Structure 1
Amino acid sequence: MADWSILVVVGVAIVAVVLLIVRFHVNPVIALALGAAGIGLGSGLGAVGTVETMASGFGETMAEAGLLIAWGVLIGSLLNRMGAVERLVHALLKAFGPKGVPYAIGLSFATYLQTIFVDVMIVIAAPLARRIAPRLGKAGTGIMATMFAISLETGIALMVPGIGAVMIAASLGIPLGQMMLFGLVVVIPTVAISIFIMTIALRAGFWNPERDEQEVIDDSNAGDTQRSVSGATTAVPVQDGADASQGSAGEGSAVQTRARVATKAEPVPDRSGQLPLIVLFAPLLVALLLIASGAILDVLEIEVPAMQFLGSPNIALLLGVIGTALVGRWAIGAKDLERALVHGFKDAGQIFALTGVGGALAAIISAGELGDLLTGYFGASAFAPILLVWVIAAILHVAVGSVTLSAMTAAGILAPVAATLGLDPVLIGLAAGAGALFCIHVTSNTFWLLQMFLGQSVRGALKTVTVGVSVASIVALGVVLVLSVFL
C-alpha cells in the first residue's frame, strides 16, 4: 500500500473510535474492537488475517496483564472494605503536618495505593482533605484538590499497579517489574515538582476562594456517585454506599458504616480498627518489594531462582491477595470478606475486556506497515518518537476523556517504532502515559468527582484538575526525555 493510504486508514479508524465513544456513547471496548477490525481490513490484512491478529493480540495481552489486574483489583477492594485509606490519611497528617501532607498523601496515592480505584479513593479521602485545607491558608482547597488530581491521575498512567500503566506495559511487552521501577523514577519527581509548582501559583493569586469554591456535595449522597473504569467515559456504579461514605466522621466512621452493613440476624464484628495500619498494608508492600527486587536482579542480570519465582508480578501480587485476605478475615469477618472479593471481581470485568481489546488494536497496527513508515519519518532521533507518542496520547485524551484508553492506543501505534529503532519500549510507554495526562477536562468522570467532593466550582476544577494535571503531563515528559539519555 502507498504510504499515504496507510496513514489515512489508521487516522480514519482512530477518529471513528473517538466519535463512537464521545458522540454516540458506544462502549470503549466495542469501539476499539471496531477500530481494530477496520484498520486490519483497510490495511490489507484480509478478513482471516484480521481476525487471527486480533485474537492473538487479545490473548497475548491478557496473558501478560490479566492476572495482575485481577490481583490488584482484589487487594484494592479488600483495603477499601477495611477502611485502610482513611486511616492512612490521618496518620500522614499527624506525621508530616499541614504543609508536608499534600506531598506525603500525593506520593502515597500515586504509588502503592494504585490498587484502589481513583473514584473510590476520592469519595473516601475527600472529607479528610476538606478538613486539612483550611490549615493551608486561603488557597488550601485548591492545593488539596490539585494534589488529588495530580497524584491519582499520574499513578493511573505511569505506576504499576495502576491500571493504565499495566495496560501500557501489556501493549508494548514491557516487563511489569521494569515498568514499575522506571514508573517510580518518573512518578516521584513528577508529583513532587507539579504539586510544588501549582502550590506556588495558587498561593500567588491563581486561586480565588470567592469564585473557585462552592458548597460541598452532601457526603450522605456518596453512595449515588458513579465511577468509571480507569477514567473512561462509560461509568459503572461505585461500590455500595457503606464504602463510599466512610470518610465523613473520622476513623471511627468506617467501623460504624460496616457495622450497619451486617444483617441483624448475623452481626459481623469489625476489628480492623484494632490492627496497626502497617499490618493492613503489609501484604501489599511486601508484594511490591518482591516485584521491585526481582526487577532489579533482572536488570543486573543476577539469577536467583527463588526471587525469579517470588518476584514475578503475578506471584507477588497473588501473595499480596492471600495476605490481605487473611488480615481481612480476622478484621472484618468472612461475610464482609466475601462481599469485598465479589465486588472486586465485578469491577475487573470491563477492565479485562478493555485491556484485551486494546492489545488487539496494538497487534493490528503492528502487523501492518505503519511501524516502518513512522520509523522513516521519525527515526533520526530517539527524542522524536517520544515527543510524537506524547502528542498522540494528548490529542486522544482531549477527545476521548480517558487517560487509560488514550495512553494505550498511542503506545500501540508507536510500538513498532520502538522495536525498529532499538529504543527501549518503556520510554514509549512512559511517554504515552505522560501525554494521556494532558488536559483532563469535562469529559472525565474524575473531573466532576473532584469538583463536587472537594468543594470547587467548575472554574476552580478547571484550574486544579485541567491545569494541574496538564502541568504534571509536561513535567513527566521532561523526566522521560531525561531518562531516555540513560536508557
Structure 2
Amino acid sequence: MPLFIVALGVVLLIVLISVFKMNTFVSLLIISFIASLALGVPMEKTVLTIESGIGGTLGHIALIFGLGAMLGKLIADSGGAKRIALTLIHKFGEKRIQWAVVVSSFIVGVAMFFEVGLVLLIPIVFSIEKELKVSPLYLGIPMLAALLATHAFLPPHPGPTVIAGEYGADIGTVLLYGIIVAIPSVILAGPVFTKFAKKIVPNAFTKDGNISSLGEQKVLKLEETPAFGISLLTATFPVILMLLATILSIIKNTAGMPDSFFFKVVNLIGNPSTAMLISLLLAFYTMGIRRNIPIKEVMSACSSSIASIGMMLLIIGGGGAFKQVLIAGGVGDYIALLFQGSSMSPILLAWIVAAILRVSLGSATVAALSTAGLVIPMLAASHVNLALVTLATGAGSAIASHVNDAGFWMVKEYFGLSLKETFATWTLLSTIVSVSGLLFILLLSLFV
C-alpha cells in the first residue's frame, strides 16, 4: 500500500506539471499534503512535517547554492569563463578541439549550474565551429557531457550537495570521489560517444543550429577579460579548498594524528559554505576590483544572480517536503523491510529509484530528493560508503533526459535537431553519463 500511494503521488505530480502546466513548487506542495494524509501522518503533524522538510533541505544548501550562483555570475560577466574556454581551445589546437571543449566545459561546469554553463558556452561553441567549419553538435556533445557530469556528481551543484546533506555524507569526500567518477564518464559520453552518434544520426551533424533565442550576447574582447591563470584559479578555488581539506583529513586519519588546532582551521576553511564564501571574496577582487569595476556593479551582479535562482530554491524545498512526508509516512521503512536480507547494495537501489523518478518527473533535483526519502532508512542498517550512495543517486537522476525535462528542449532548439535526433544524441548521452557513472561508482566501492 505505501508503494502504491507513492506511485499514485508521482503520477499525479506528472499530471499537474505536464498536463495542467502547474508550477513545480506548488505541485510538490499539493502532492506532499495528499501523500501525507494518504500515508497516515496525523493531521496535526502534516504541516509541521512539510515545513521541517523544506527547512531541513534548504538549511543544507541555501548558503552554498546562493554563494555559488554569485560566483558563477561574476566569472561569466567578467569574461573569465570565455578566457578559460578560448585559451584551452587555442592550446589544444584544431586536431584535439573536442578535448579542449571537454576540459574547458568541465572547469566552467564546476563553477556554474548546468543551464548557466550551457547558455554561456553555446555561443563560444558556435563561434568556434564557424571558424573551424565543423558541426556545432561535434563540439556540443563533449560540452553537454562535461556540463551534465559536473551537475550530477560535483558539489556545489544542487543535486549532490543536497543529497550529501540528507545522507550525512562528507561533501569533500563526495567531491573527491565525484571527480574520479565524472572524468571517465565524460570521456565516454563526450568524445567517444560522438563517433557512434555520427553513425546513428548522421543528419544531426549537418544542422546549423540556432541560438537567436539567447538574445544579444554581451561581447567582450579577449584582451578585456581576466588572465587565464586568475580566471582558472577563481573558478576552481572552492574545489581546491574542499579537496585540500578532504585530503589532509584522510592523511590525519590514516596516520592517527591528533585533532589539533591546525586541522580544525583546515576543516573550517574546507567546509563548503566557508569555501564558497572565501572564493566569492576572491572573485570580488579578481573579477571586479582588480579590473577597476565599481563594487556597486559587482554587488548588482550578485543580486541579479540570486533573483534568478529563487524559484529553483523553492522547488528544492518542495522536493524536501515530499521527501520528509515519505519518511514520516513510513515508506522508507517499508522499503527497508522489503529489502531486509537482500543482497542488493544500497548504491544500486539508490540509482534505480532515482532513475525511475527522473524518467517520470523530469527534474533531476526533485528525483534525487525523493529518492533520499526512500533510501535513508536503509542506510542505518548498512555500512555502505555514504559518499558513493550520494553519487549513485546523482547518477540515477541524470538518466534519459526526455520531453518532460527543460534541458531536452534547450538542446533540441539550440542545435536545430528533430525530436528523433535529440533522443538519439542528448537522451542517449545523459543515459551514458548515468550508467557509466554507476559502473565507476561500483568499481570505486571495491577500493574505498
TM (norm. structure 1) is: 0.82
Match of 1:378 among 303, 320, 339: 339
Q: What SS class does the counterpart of residue 315 from structure 1 fall into?
A: helix
Q: Which runs of 5+ in 2 are unaligned?
A: none
**Match for residue 297 of structure 1?**
248
Alpha-carbon offset, residue 133 of structure 1 = 4.2
Which of 178, 192, 209 is residue 183 of structure 1 equivalent to?
178
8 Å CA contact 1:141–1:455 kept in 2: the answer is no
Query: Residues of 2 paired with 1:137 and 1:479: CA distance?
Result: 35
Q: CA–CA distance in 1 between the matches of 2:250 and 2:300?
A: 40
* Secondary structure in 1 matching 2:207: coil
Residue 419 of structure 1 aligns with which residue? 380
Provide the residue aligned with 2:421 in structure 1. 460
- The answer as to 2:118 corresponding to 1:126 is no
Structure 2 match to 1:329: 288
Distance in 2 between the 1:195 and 1:282 partners?
25
- Measure, in 2, the Cα distance between the counterparts of 1:130 and 1:284: 23
1:202 aligned onto 2:207? no
Q: Is the 8 A contact 1:107 1:191 kept in 2?
A: no
Distance in 1 of aligned mates of 2:227 and 2:117 = 20
Deviations 1:449-473 (A, max 9, x none): 2233334444432222111221121
Is the aligned partner of 1:364 residue 2:325?
A: yes
Q: For residues 21 and 111 of structure 1, do their structure 2 counterparts lie closer, same or farther at Cα, with a shift above 3 Å needed?
A: farther
Q: Which secondary structure does the structure 2 equivalent of 1:48 belong to? A: helix
2:142 and 2:191 in contact (8 A); partners too: no
Give 2:66's aligned amino acid. Answer: A
Contact 2:84 2:232 (8 Å CA) reproduced: no
Deviations 1:7-63 (Å, cap 9, x if unpaired)? 222222222222222222222222222222223222222122222222223222222
Paired residue type of 1:38: I
The aligned residue for residue 217 of structure 1 is: 210
Work out the CA distance in 2 between the residues paired with 1:137 and 1:202: 19
Query: Residue 254 of structure 1 corresponds to which residue in structure 2?
Result: 220
1:439 CA drift (Å): 1.3
Q: Secondary structure at the match of 1:439?
A: coil
CA distance in 2, matches of 1:16, 1:379: 30
Kept after mapping to 1: 8 A contact 2:174/2:388:
no
**SS of match in other structure, 1:448:** helix
Seen in structure 2, the aligned counterparts of structure 1 residues 389 and 420 have a Cα distance that, compared at 3 Å, is: same
Which digits, 9 at most, give the CA deviation of each residue in 1:305-337, with x for residues without a partner? 210111111111101111101223332333431
Alignment partner of 2:64 out of 68, 93, 100: 68
Q: Does 1:470 align with 2:420?
A: no
Contact 1:178 1:295 in 2 (8 A): yes
- 1:97 Cα shift? 2.3
Give the corresponding residue for 1:235.
none
Are the aligned partners of 1:109 and 1:151 in contact in 2 as well (CA < 8 Å)? Answer: yes
Distance 1:44 1:298, change over 3 A: farther
**Does the CA-based 8 Å contact 1:143-1:202 persist in structure 2?**
no
Following TM superposition, by how much is the alpha carbon of 1:381 offset from its aligned partner in structure 2, in angstroms?
5.0
The structural deviation recorded for 1:137 is 8.6
Once residues 84 and 326 of structure 1 are traced to their aligned partners in structure 2, the CA distance between those partners, rounded to angstroms, is 13
Per the TM alignment, residue 79 of structure 1 is displaced from its structure 2 partner at its CA by 0.9
Deviations 1:334-392, CA, capped at 9 Å, x for gaps: 34313311211102312322222322222222233323322233344564433333232
Of 340, 357, 367 in structure 2, the residue corresponding to residue 406 of structure 1 is 367
d(CA) in 1 for partners of 2:11, 2:145: 28
Q: How does 1:264-279 map to 2 (within 5 A)?
A: 272-273=224-225, 275-279=226-230
C-alpha distance 373-110 of structure 1, shift in aligned 2 (>3 A): farther
Q: Considering only aligned residues, what root-mean-square deviation do their CA atoms show, in Å?
A: 2.6
Partner SS state of residue 109, structure 2: coil
3-state DSSP class of the match of 1:254? coil
- Cα distance per residue 1:126-181 (max 9 Å; x no partner): 2332344479897x433322212222222212111222222222332323222212
Of 82-91 and 108-117, the range deviating more from structure 2: 108-117
Equivalent runs, 1:5-20 vs 2, <5 Å: 5-20=1-16
Match of 2:299 among 338, 343, 353: 338
Provide TM-score, normalisation by structure 2: 0.89
CA contact (8 A) 1:170 1:359 kept: no
Question: In 2 relative to 1, CA 57–297 (structure 1 residues): closer, same or farther, beyond 3 Å?
Answer: farther
Instruction: Quote the Cα distance in structure 1 between the aligned partners of 2:406 and 2:311.
Output: 16
SS in 1 for 2:398: coil
Q: Pick closer, same or farther for the CA change 1:185–1:444 going to 2, 3 Å.
A: same
* Matches of 1:254 and 1:137, distance apart in 2: 23
Cα deviation code 1:81-111 (max 9, x no counterpart): 1112222111111122234342343244345
| Structure 1 partner of 2:156 | 161
Within 5 Å, which residues of 2 pair with 1:56-95? Answer: 56-95=52-91
Matched residues in 2 for 1:361 and 1:169: separation? 17
Which residues in structure 2 correspond to 1:132-171 (within 5 Å)? 132-133=128-129, 140-171=135-166
Q: 1:310 aligns with which of 257, 260, 269?
A: 269
Code of the residue aligned with 1:254 in structure 2: it is: L
Once the two structures are TM-superposed, the CA of residue 72 in structure 1 deviates from its matched residue by: 0.4
Q: CA deviation at 1:218?
A: 5.2
**CA, structure 1 residues 58+218, in 2 after alignment: closer, same or farther (shift >3 Å)?**
closer
- Residues 455 and 95 of structure 1: CA distance in aligned 2, closer, same or farther (over 3 Å): farther
Q: Distance in 2 between matches of 1:43 and 1:277?
A: 55
Unaligned runs of 5+ in 1: 224-240, 247-252, 257-270
Pairing 1:24–2:49 present: no
